[in-house]
Chain A
Amino acid sequence: MSLAWELLKRETALAWGRGGGPLVSAGFYLGVATLLPLAAGPEPARLAAVAPGVAWVTLALATLLGLDRLFERDYEDGALDLLTLSPLPLEFVCALKCLGQWLATGLPLALAAPITEIALGGSPALAPLVLISAMIGGLAFAFAGGIGAALSLGARRGGLLTAVIVLPLFTPPVIFGGGALDAFASGLPWGAGFVLLCAYATAAIALGPLAMAAACRNALS
């Protein structure tokens, strides 16, 4: 168990170093929040209408930051070889890597999400739901994204490739989370979308590591 704890600490620290941490995510959100009114027009009504959706889709895109380095770095310096020899099953190691990625980038992004939503003129009442769904959605994004990162190991142009593989996988969680936020904003029952988001995150956590471990073994063979 202490082994797993050490590994989680290592992964979190590494993820922090490769584009994680509150500064980068806050900066990314700030950038989007600045660019959006410049691109879409500054009318408050229009901005307020799209604010939750923008905060949500920004989260999905921001998860791509650093994702291509999730396995790549360990693959290049041989640490991934060592990890396959560890007593922990590779599936569990992959899950820990994704969890570390989420702790270092997903959580700060989730904290920045409601701020962006309010800054763009969205309703403050929506902020808690934005925060919670950003946290759970971040988990789903990290574990689904890990599949793309593991598959593009050893590929040329790994970074863009990961994005192309991962974006179709992001469709359901983006829909569920966006649906919940939209329903809440218009005073409709929002539970269904939220529960579905949780279900997708659970499925991604359960099945994602299997695919990631298979892809890692293949890349190392």
Chain B
Amino acid sequence: MISAPAFLSNPERFMAFSRWAAPLFGATAVLLAVTGLWLGFTAPEDYQQGDTVRIMFIHVPAAWLSMFAYICLGIASFLSLVFRHALADAAAKSAAPLGAGFTALALVTGSLWGRPMWGTWWVWDARLTSVLVLFLFYLAYMALRSALDDEAKAARACAILALVGLVNLPVVHWSVNWWNSLHQGVTVFAKGGPKMAPVFLVPLLLMVLAYMAAFGALWLVRIRGEVWRRRADAALSRLART
């Protein structure tokens, strides 16, 4: 059997690694965000979007992270299902609330950008609908977690759900795309995506990196908490037995 990297499968090594990695990621995130925001707010107004282009600097990273967190959740679930690593399960469990938070941010900031730009809070576009379904998936994942009392069973059931979701999401995206072509709704996005001038692209990329670093830091912190919680649980049951 192939083994996962040792620092991820061995809790001791993980705790030693995350002890300095989490604050490092956090500091990196703050540094990148400050630089990105400075560049973003000193950039000139976009000739089409005007000042609302500044919402893009927080909307695009949130949308990107909503997908990225789900991929992390899916990989961790797969590892926990195949190798039965408790740490992989802790990682999957910890990614869900963060992913839900980023997805909610993507939806809200998207609406706040869409209202002045398209004149509507919401369109049933493929991207928006997929993100909404993604949000529902996060909610379902967390609901399933909290409804199952047995931790080992909850871990496996949630891992199965995460993998089902991983298969379903591209289908959802594709199906809404198809549905949109049928309805010829609002054509919001230019083919190949909106072209961005470098003056906007640099702060945008910095913000994406900042969000990823922030996600990494928060994820590690939550996994550490989860490891401690399991240790406390184990100690409690040992104490109760003696």
Contacts and interface: CB of A to CB of B under 8 A. Distances in A.
Interface of A: 147, 151-158, 161, 164-165, 167-169, 171-172, 175-176, 178-179, 182-183, 188, 192-193, 196, 200, 207, 211, 214-215, 218-219, 221
A46 B183 CA distance: 18
Given A211-B160, A218-B157, 8 more contacts: A151-B144, A161-B144, A165-B161, A168-B140, A171-B172, A171-B176, A211-B163, A219-B157
B176 A175 contact: yes
B143 A164 contact: yes
A182 B182 contact: yes
A196 B164 contact: no
B175 A176 contact: yes
B175 A172 contact: yes
Contacts of A179: 178-179, 182
Majority-rule SS of A interface residues? helix
B143 A154 contact: no
Interface residues of B, number: 30
Contacts of B203: none
Majority-rule SS of B interface residues? helix
Contacts of A182: 182
Nearest to B154: A155
A71 B157 CA distance: 14
A152 B172 contact: no
Contacts of A156: 147, 149
Nearest to A155: B147
A164 B168 CA distance: 15
A155 B167 contact: no
Contacts of B136: 164, 167-168
Contact of A183 (B144, B167, B182): B182
B168 A172 contact: yes
A164 to B, nearest CB: 5
A57 to B, nearest CB: 14
Contacts of A165: 140, 143-144, 161
